[in-house]
A and B are shown apart, each in its own frame.
Chain A
């Protein structure tokens, strides 16, 4: 048991080290080599733009059910007008970034791992290197830029749709008075909440793209390996997102104390 825990810890630390090296190489490549903007733009369209529908739908349904649940509780105390502000805070601070990241990990992370993994086992990665092109410059950097640009925007989109859906549930459907609802919503939602959503989105983007590219580049064992890479990418990045979210929630609460 103890040795099993020890071994798992060691494996996790090794993995973290490998991710750290990849991330370090990626950041230094962003400065040392010319950035391939065309590829980055292509990735923004492929990964960011095409994820909008799934992210918007996720945000909307989350906002809708969340507003309904808050209403069921708060209505008993006559605090109907607080539904909007509570939903908005929860969306910006927790649900929006986390759920968006989990959806994007499933959609984009898996695709990155499968694509790079296929290139690895079919020697396309070696072919790139044989022409003097670094796979970091050509594959990892454009995907990283695309994710870092797209994720905060996708998070914002999820939150916006969530807030809209919670409004539609609360005001027209459940009959909460509109004026106090909107007043509370704008009064209690601060710039700091939006900052938290953006920062979390950015950090989760780094996690998703690093884990997925790493899984892709480390793929071996032919088709079976390519089959495993996306699964591992999704599982590992999802767990990392949830863990990092907890850390960020506490860390960001120090920087942006709640309610200020």
Chain B
């Protein structure tokens, strides 16, 4: 459903992505691993046209979205939901306002339907009844989950998760991992999960890609990743920095 070809991007002359190729098929989950700062969030932002690459293509359902004007991108963005790393909640609105936002933008005017869908989405992230809190009054983990609820409330066909479990306690992380899996199984949602949490990777992935120094260092199955003897991969999986005390 989404295909990235030879995507390159630099900021202020410093290359962040160098000819990145990635593919995720309809209904599958691709997990993108990589160290902090290696450009994972930058990749995701290219997929819905929030950033423009220096070169390369991004195909969504076969259509190249690079160079589409902002207003034409709306159709693409309706198909793809994104959970931002920082959750990016609108802090002028309550939790309910945040969740209702994408629904209203889709043209849903029936307040009853909006209420029901907001409640359903909050239920899925285990925050039932928190409609009236303001984002400033939420903990980091709660913000992340509200962000996730806001991403899925509009029922996108594809969801981009930017570090969905970072900063969450292990139990909540596990329930998010199950949620990602459930959305995929039950609703056929195509997913790209950016993370450095190996639990999430092993739990959710149909395929795994490892970004290293701006390139795709590994792209294949979870089993292949686990069986690899490549030091870059084994160090990452086992969390070894190569330093000693």
Which residues of A are at the interface with B, using a C-beta cutoff of 8 A?
A: 32, 118-119, 122-124, 126-127, 129-134
By a beta-carbon cutoff of 8 Å, the part of chain B in contact with chain A is 45, 48-50, 70-71, 73-75, 77-78, 81-82, 84-86, 88-91, 101-102, 105, 154
Q: Which of B48, B86, B89, B91 contacts A130 (CB 8 A)?
A: B48
Let me know if B88 and A123 touch, CB within 8 A: yes
Contact of A132 with B73 at beta-carbon distance under 8 Å, contacts A124-B90, A126-B45, A126-B50 already known: yes
In the complex, are the beta carbons of A126 and B71 less than 8 A apart? no
Cα distance A134–B73 in the bound complex, in angstroms: 10
Cβ contact within 8 Å between B77 and A130: yes
- 28 A-B pairs in the complex with CB atoms less than 8 angstroms apart: A32-B71, A118-B91, A119-B90, A122-B86, A123-B85, A123-B86, A124-B89, A124-B90, A126-B50, A126-B84, A126-B88, A127-B88, A127-B89, A127-B90, A129-B48, A129-B49, A129-B70, A129-B77, A130-B77, A130-B81, A130-B82, A130-B84, A131-B101, A131-B105, A132-B75, A132-B77, A134-B70, A134-B71
Main secondary structure of the interface of A (DSSP, over half): helix
Residue numbers in A under 8 Å from B88 (CB-CB):
122-124, 126-127
Docked CA distance A167–B66 (Å): 64
Contact B50 A129 (CB under 8 A): yes
Min CB–CB distance A128 → chain B (angstroms): 8
> Known contacts A123-B88, A127-B88; can you find 13 more A-B pairs with CB under 8 A?
A118-B91, A126-B84, A127-B90, A129-B49, A129-B77, A130-B50, A130-B77, A130-B81, A130-B84, A131-B101, A131-B105, A132-B73, A134-B70
A138 to chain B, nearest CB (A): 10
Contacting pair B73 A127 (CB below 8 A): no
- Report the separation of the CA atoms of residues A133 and B106 in the bound assembly, to the nearest whole angstrom: 10
Which of A119, A123, A130, A134: most chain B CB closer than 10 A? A130
What CA separation (Å) do A131 and B102 show in the bound complex? 6
**Nearest A-chain residue to B74, judged by Cβ:** A132
Which chain B residue shows the least CB distance to A125?
A: B88
Contact check, A132 vs B105: say whether CB atoms are below 8 A apart: yes
Chain B residues near A126: list those with CB within 8 A. Answer: 45, 50, 84, 88
Q: How far is the CB of B140 from chain A (nearest CB, A)?
A: 13
- Least distance between A249 CB and chain B CB atoms (Å): 39
Closest 7 CB pairs of A and B: A132-B74, A123-B88, A127-B88, A132-B77, A130-B82, A123-B84, A131-B102
Give the Cβ gap from A107 to chain B, nearest Cβ, in Å: 19
A124 to B147 CA separation, bound complex (whole angstroms): 11
- With a cutoff of 8 Å between Cβ atoms, the chain A residues found around residue B77 in the complex are 129-132
Q: B75: which A residues are within 8 A, CB to CB? A: 132
| A118 vs B48: C-alpha distance when bound (angstroms) | 22
Query: Chain B residues with Cβ under 8 A from A123's Cβ?
Result: 84-86, 88
CB distance from B162 to the nearest CB of A (A): 10
Chain A positions within 8 Å of B101 at CB level: 131
Best-buried of A118, A122, A131, A133 by chain B (most CB within 10 Å): A131
